[in-house]
Amino acid sequence: MPRRCNSTRPAPSPRRGATLIAPMHPCLTCGACCAYFRVSFHWSEADPEQGGQVPIELTEPLRVHERVMRGTSATKPRCIALDADIGRYSRCTIHDRRPSVCAAVPASLEFGERSAQCDKSRLAHGLPLLLESDWVGVAEAERNPLP
Q: Which residues of 39-66 are buried (b: 16+ CB within 10 A; e: fewer)?
A: bbbebebbeeeeebebbeebbeebeeee
What's the DSSP call for residue 85?
A: E
Provide the pLDDT for residue 66: 97
Provide the pLDDT for residue 139: 73
Question: Rounded to whole angstroms, what are the CA distances from 73 to 28, 35, 90, 105, 107?
Answer: 23, 10, 20, 18, 22
Map residue 121 onto helix, strand or coil.
helix
Cα distance between residue 70 and residue 34, in whole Å: 11
Map residue 71 onto helix, strand or coil.
coil
What type of residue sits at position 48?
P
- Count of all residues that appear for the chain in the document: 147
Provide the pLDDT for residue 147: 42
Query: Please, what are the averages of pLDDT over each run of 10 residues along the chain (147 residues)?
Result: 38 46 84 97 95 96 97 97 96 96 93 95 98 86 56
Provide the pLDDT for residue 21: 60
What's the DSSP call for residue 59?
A: E
Q: pTM of the predicted model, to two decimals? A: 0.79
The model's pLDDT over 50-79, given as tens digits with 9 standing for 90+, comes to: 999 999 999 999 999 999 999 999 999 999
Alpha helices in the chain (DSSP H): 100-103, 116-124
